[in-house]
Homo-oligomer: A and B are copies of this chain.
Amino acid sequence: MEYIKNIREKCPLVHFITNYVTVNDVANALLAIGGSPIMTDEVLDAPDMQNICNALVINPGTLNENTVKAMIESGKRANKLGHIVVLDPCGAGATPYRNKVINELIENINFDCIKGNISEIKALANVSSKNKGVDADVSDQVTRDNLSDVFKMAKALSAKTGAVIAITGPIDVIVYKDNAYTTDNGCKAMRQITGTGCMTAGVVAAALVANPEDKLKAVTAGIVAVGLAGEMASKYAKGTGSLHIGLIDELSNLNDSLLETGAQIERFDI
């Protein structure tokens, strides 16, 4: 497949209602991989923006009452227009308000993909979890030993929501219907830069727009792309600042040949 080439050719216009912490990185990561970002979160403006877009990414990291309205109305519009919609349930499980909002989003909007860390996905699946703000708690971590439990939980959440479920972490798990992939790309130091998850959501949205044939493979390609870019940048980065910049550099230079060579993927029937 030519996942990256397709993104660069179609240049998907992705609308983000996302947190103000990592929004600049999200925009630059999407531009680097060949898409085009637009951010607006006012309910009077955001739903109409969908009219000219290809996709919507919702991340309630720094949610407020006004932007939540914009999320719901934009999500409904995106659904009506048949656009790709991705949820990044940032901080799910951390507070009651956040849980209420995320449930409201899932009840009102059909998502093509829900991408979070293991603590966030557990919170969505109503499995007891711990999280550390927007980071996964160590006690929740996906390992080779608990993989079948993780598949089971993700499969149930996928069945309930109709979405591809993507769990990012040291081992990434991507589940849709009876199929799953795990990927081992990325590097440990990526946990020490903010926004890798948020950037991934945008790249995944672009991958889904440009590669509509197979949702599971498109999401996996998006996740591998960001992991691989971080991995390549970590070879020369002098610290977390230059890792952050290197990751964007590598995304901008990425192509399908590099993706195929570098991808560390395993497929599972579940």
Contacts and interface: CB of A to CB of B under 8 A. Distances in A.
A242 B251 CA distance: 12
A202 to B, nearest CB: 12
A61 B39 contact: yes
A98 B241 CA distance: 32
A193 to B, nearest CB: 6
Interface residues of A, number: 65
Contact of A194 (B19, B31, B61, B245): B31
Interface string A230-270: 00000001111110111111111100000000000000000
Contacts of A194: 24, 27-28, 31, 37
A227 interface: no
Interface in A180-195: 191-195
Contact of A22 (B24, B64, B131, B247): B24
A251 B36 CA distance: 25
A28 B244 contact: yes
Interface in A17-67: 19-25, 27-28, 31-32, 36-42, 44-45, 48-49, 51-53, 61-66
A132 interface: yes
Nearest to A23: B21
A49 B94 contact: yes
Interface of A: 13, 15, 19-25, 27-28, 31-32, 36-42, 44-45, 48-49, 51-53, 61-66, 91, 94-98, 131-135, 191-195, 237-242, 244-253
6 contacts: A27-B195, A36-B135, A40-B62, A42-B97, A49-B95, A240-B248
